[in-house]
Amino acid sequence: MAAVTYGAQLQCLVCLAVATPCTDGNLPPPRPLAYVGARSWNVSAFLDMGGYGAFIWPSYAASVIVLGLAVAFSILGHARAQAEIRRLEDQAKGGNS
């Protein structure tokens, strides 16, 4: 009950605490979006990502590389395991005959 009563107030306090501090107590206006108009689209603004593009794009690249390596190692491990199973089955068939 207390969480419901004070939930909105706590959320406001957290938002204000993590927001950029301002001398007048008001939050700064949001940064402009990548969309310039209704039908045009600014690619350089999209790639800049509000000034954080230098951090975001390398993070995406690192994530893609790590996930790609995880998939590649999983496929290689699966192929090795299948080869080992085939080898053991052939060895078991040859030993029982």
Distance between start and end Cα atoms, the chain: 74
Selected residue with higher pLDDT from 31 and 48: 48
**44-84 per-position pLDDT tens digit:** 888 888 888 899 999 999 999 999 999 999 999 999 999 99
Instruction: Tell me which DSSP letter residue 22 carries.
Output: -
Number of structural domains the chain divides into: 1
Given a cut of 60, is residue 25 above it in pLDDT? yes
Q: What percent of the chain has pLDDT over 70?
A: 56
DSSP letters for 79-97: HHHHHHHHHHHHHHHHHH-
Query: Which pLDDT score is estimated for 59?
Result: 96
Please tell me the pTM assigned to this model.
Answer: 0.51
Q: How far is CA 23 from the centre of its chain?
A: 34
Query: Which pLDDT score is estimated for 74?
Result: 98
- Domain holding 7, by residue range, is 2-96
